[in-house]
Structure 1
Amino acid sequence: MARVRYGARTEAEIAASREKSSNLPDIWSTGVVAVWETDPDVVAAVLPPPLKPAERPLVRANISKVDLPGYPLGAGSVAVSARHGGVEGWYPLVMPMTHERALTGGREVFGEPKKLGEVTVERDGLVVRASLARHGIAFVEVRGAVDRALPVPGPARKTDFYFKFLPAVDGSGFEDDPVLVHCTRNEKVRKLEHLTGDVILRESMFDPVADLPVRRLVELTIGEKTTDQQGRAVERVSAQALLPYLHQRYDDPQQAFDGPPEGSA
């Protein structure tokens, strides 16, 4: 009988896949990073408990082209500064990706708020344009020009906070108490340049980052970097406390709250 591709994989095949994924080479990306100060009450409003606002009300937009073997990937995120206990980090609100393959691992393993979208990073000489777009709306756009090289920073460790959960089958809350995840990234940079420019936030009902206004631009750079990441489930959180923030994950919140169709078996 010809092999049935939906059939079970052998133990040897599973082991080989794990070994291959654990020995990945450094994957470099070229990306624009914009960091700005916004209104403190806005940052506080978007953070589900037990996350708390960090000392400064910052927003960070990452817009990158990733040199994945075989196909390029556009990857982005918009996050706000946050803390959990004594850990300072970032809470991403949306993470557009240009390929489905980049979505599944992050969403299912870490709880990342990844969605399919358009990610653009263009450079023409010293002129740089980068944007994140979904549903035909470039809801974040960075425009600028390189004005100087910056010293290459040493390796850095950064933390993102995610909530991993599954909506309940009957449309009422969650299947189990959600999990707060600390995702730690070790970042290496090989090139960094400063940009003079601006950040444009456009209104979008699906990605309302325009609610995080740019009060003062803190950082605007373009660079080449590579990262690895490790996730750790740190605690179960209150399902009732997280439920009011569930809409952050979905374009249509009813996807999360609807029960099964009437008459379904």
Structure 2
Amino acid sequence: MARVRYGARTEAEITAARASSSKLPDIWSTGVVAVWESDPDAVAAVLPPPLGPTERPLVRANISKVDLTGYPLGAGSVAVAALHDGREGWYPLVMPMTHERALIGGREVFGEPKKLGEVTVERDGLLVRAALARHGIAFVEVRGAVDGPLPLPEPAEKLDFYFKFLPAVDGQGFDADPVLVHCTRNEKFRRLEKITGDVVLRESVYDPVADLPVRRVVELTIGEKTTDQKGRVAERVSAQALLPYIHQRYDDPRQILDEPPEGSV
């Protein structure tokens, strides 16, 4: 009979798929990065334990177009600086992706807070506009002009923190103890330019990044880079401590709680 495509893969097919995924070529992206100082109390308020705030209350928006052959991808994130076990990194609050394929892998494997959204990176001569949008709202927008090249940074390792969990089948908490994931990325640039401009945050009940106001812009750049990533489980975390924060992952808090937290609507 004809092969049933939902049927089991052979051991040879599984081995071949693993081998091909471990030998991916460099994938380059063109992206805008904005870093700003925000309100320290607001940054601390979004960090689930055991994460804690760093000395500077920084927020970073990363807005990129990824060069995937035949499969162009828009990818973005808004993250706050965080500290865990003596290591500084970033805790993403939302990661808009333009395709389901990128969304599913990140959420299921690493616990990334990815959601389908719109990602815009436009350059017309020296003028640059980049934005992250969902539900018709561009909740982060960077506008400016290229102000000249910057020295290429040395290849560096970056650290992101994610919480991986599954809501319980009966609606009460989680199916198992959640885990804190350390995701390390090796980052390499081939072009980097400074932008002079501003960061605009717009109100959205789905992506309330506007609660992290721009006090002072620290960095605005556009560049081309390639990264790889690997993750590890750093520790199991308290389900009760994480439960008040998991609405961050969903557009509708009632997917997890009986009703939205007081004052959220």
Asked if these proteins are the same fold (TM beyond 0.5), I'd say yes
Partner of 2:188: 188
Return the letter of the residue paired with 2:210. Answer: A
Partner of 2:145: 145
In 2, Cα distance between equivalents of 1:103 and 1:71: 14
Partner of 1:89: 89
In 2, Cα distance between equivalents of 1:28 and 1:234: 29
In 2, Cα distance between equivalents of 1:254 and 1:8: 36
Unaligned runs of 5+ in 2: 259-265
Partner of 2:232: 232
Partner deviation per Cα, 1:114-159 (whole Å, 9 max, x = no partner): 0000000000000000000000000000000001110001101110
In 2, Cα distance between equivalents of 1:131 and 1:83: 27
In 2, Cα distance between equivalents of 1:116 and 1:56: 30
Task: Describe how 1:1-265 pairs up with structure 2 within 5 A.
Answer: 1-257=1-257
Partner deviation per Cα, 1:49-101 (whole Å, 9 max, x = no partner): 00000110000000000001221100000000000011100000000000000
SS in 2 for 1:52: coil
* Shift, 1:255, TM fit: 1.5
Partner of 2:263: none
How many residues get paired? Answer: 258
> Runs ≥4 in structure 1, deviation > 3 angstroms?
none
SS in 1 for 2:9: coil
Partner deviation per Cα, 1:142-197 (whole Å, 9 max, x = no partner): 00000111000110111000000000000000011100000000000010000000
In 2, Cα distance between equivalents of 1:124 and 1:144: 11
In 1, Cα distance between equivalents of 2:236 and 2:69: 36
SS in 1 for 2:35: strand
* Shift, 1:254, TM fit: 1.4
- Which TM-score applies when normalising by structure 2? 0.96
SS in 1 for 2:129: strand
Return the letter of the residue paired with 1:6. Answer: Y
* Shift, 1:253, TM fit: 1.5
In 2, Cα distance between equivalents of 1:27 and 1:113: 22
SS in 1 for 2:128: strand
Return the letter of the residue paired with 1:14. Answer: I
Return the letter of the residue paired with 1:163. Answer: F
Partner deviation per Cα, 1:189-232 (whole Å, 9 max, x = no partner): 01000000000000000000000000000000000000000101
8 Å contact from structure 1 (residues 173, 257) kept in 2: no
Q: CA RMSD in A?
A: 0.7
In 2, Cα distance between equivalents of 1:108 and 1:182: 15
Return the letter of the residue paired with 1:218. Answer: V
8 Å contact from structure 1 (residues 93, 113) kept in 2: yes
* Shift, 1:256, TM fit: 2.3
8 Å contact from structure 1 (residues 145, 195) kept in 2: yes
Return the letter of the residue paired with 1:233. Answer: V
